């Protein structure tokens, strides 16, 4: 909004020209989303407590998690509201990258909100049945793929995507495969963050790291000179996605103020599905779907740990007549809890891993 309103006043004072620059608006977006989260957070937590919207803790989970029962959930609304308002204020609203990213955040947030509402308000322990959540996630991913084929928003072929560590190679999909691929990326990313959201501050901190990293790639992709020098796809207009990315990171950090151990509020599926979906969509728009595996490396490891646990349990039950577990508990952050690691220690160490994955992702710009 400010991008559309204030540069026109440059005739009065040249200072208004700063609102043209992505770097300035990105800094403004971070601060704005942080402040909104700080201001909105206490109000929402108070409302959630008054409404009795408390977390339901599984009986099969770690014993120390039983103390968390009743803690307000659906706190992901803090992130969604802060990131959305900040993006609307600072980004170019006629830019398709901005519009698609915002829609993805709101769509996935709505699916998560419905799931949380059914579980904690309506008392339906299964919430939104898994297949209906998958339908909601896949429908958006498939619709996005079809939209990008119908209305390409970059000069490069829609079905092309970058391959990390290679500047002169690209993966090329057939159109139907590309649509299925976008559905898988959106759904997979959304569910990966959802699986990771099991400890105070874990998913929010990792999302802030991942979103900031994608923001760097968005800025590079939006500049003809830098993208050419680094061998990355030049995507005119993609720089605006930097605003959304850092606004999302700022909102996640602001949410951490209330979500750090011991948490005052949990993000719930409202936040985790929205954050994961937004990360996946940003990767699709930047033609960096494979890079997302590195950027969100911890999310990938969490998902793999669940797949390994389920697969090993089913195999041993079929082979030996009794299911066995590969980890003490999955996702893997619960495995370390079972080993006796304090929750805060696990979270910080996983954040460190997240930073290392982010550095590896950035290094792909030069290791080509």
Q: What percent of the chain has pLDDT over 90?
A: 70
To the nearest 10 degrees (0 to 180), the angle between helices 22-51 and 76-90 is: 150
Which pLDDT score, from 0 to 100, does residue 332 have?
Answer: 95
91, containing H or E segment: none
Q: Report the 10 Å Cβ neighbour count for 126.
A: 9
pTM: predicted TM-score of the whole model, two decimal places: 0.94
Confidence tier at 132 by pLDDT (50, 70, 90): confident
- Using DSSP's 3-state secondary structure scheme, residue 165 falls into coil
CB under 8 Å to 60, separation ≥6 — which residues? none
Mind spelling out the 3-state secondary structure of 212-223? HHHHHHHHHHCC
Contacts of 130 (CB under 8 A, 6+ apart): none
Bridge partners, residue 12, by sequence: none
Give the span between the Cα atoms of 24 and 18, in whole angstroms: 7
Best-predicted range by mean pLDDT (21-25, 244-248, 316-320): 244-248
**What is the per-residue pLDDT across 228-279, written as a single tens digit (0 to 9) for each?**
888 888 999 999 999 999 999 999 999 999 999 899 999 999 999 999 999 9
**φ, ψ at 299 (rounded to 5°):** -60, -40
């Amino acid at each position: 909004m400010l991008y559309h309103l204030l540069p026109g006043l440059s005739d009065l004072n040249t200072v208004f020209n700063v609102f043209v620059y992505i770097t300035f608006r990105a800094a403004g977006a971070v601060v704005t989303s942080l402040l909104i989260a700080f201001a909105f957070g206490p109000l929402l937590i108070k409302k959630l407590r008054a409404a009795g919207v408390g977390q339901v803790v599984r009986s099969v989970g770690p014993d120390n998690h039983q103390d968390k029962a009743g803690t307000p959930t659906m706190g992901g609304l803090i992130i969604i509201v802060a990131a959305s308002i900040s993006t609307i204020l600072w980004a170019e609203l006629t830019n398709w990258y901005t519009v698609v990213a915002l829609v993805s955040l709101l769509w996935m947030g709505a699916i998560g909100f419905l799931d949380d509402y059914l579980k904690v308000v309506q008392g339906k322990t299964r919430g939104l049945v898994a297949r209906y959540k998958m339908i909601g996630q896949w429908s958006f991913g498939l619709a996005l793929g079809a939209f990008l084929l119908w209305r390409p928003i970059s000069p490069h072929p829609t079905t092309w995507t970058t391959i990390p560590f290679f500047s002169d190679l690209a993966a090329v999909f057939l159109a139907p495969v590309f649509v299925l691929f976008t559905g898988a990326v959106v759904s997979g990313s959304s569910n990966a963050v959802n699986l990771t959201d099991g400890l105070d501050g874990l998913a929010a901190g990792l999302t802030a790291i991942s979103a900031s990293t994608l923001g760097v790639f968005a800025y590079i992709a939006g500049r003809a000179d830098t993208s050419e020098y680094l061998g990355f796809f030049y995507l005119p207009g993609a720089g605006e996605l930097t605003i959304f990315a850092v606004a999302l990171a700022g909102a996640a950090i602001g949410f951490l103020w209330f979500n750090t151990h011991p948490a005052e509020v949990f993000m719930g599926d409202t936040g985790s599905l929205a954050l994961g979906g937004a990360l996946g969509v940003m990767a699709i728009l930047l033609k960096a779907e494979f890079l997302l595996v590195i950027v969100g490396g911890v999310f990938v490891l969490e998902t793999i740990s669940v797949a390994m646990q389920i697969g090993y349990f089913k195999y041993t039950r079929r082979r030996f007549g009794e299911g066995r577990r590969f980890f003490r508990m999955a996702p893997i952050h619960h495995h370390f809890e079972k080993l006796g690691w304090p929750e805060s220690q696990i979270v910080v160490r996983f954040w460190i891993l997240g930073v290392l994955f982010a550095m590896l992702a950035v290094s792909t710009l030069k290791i080509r």
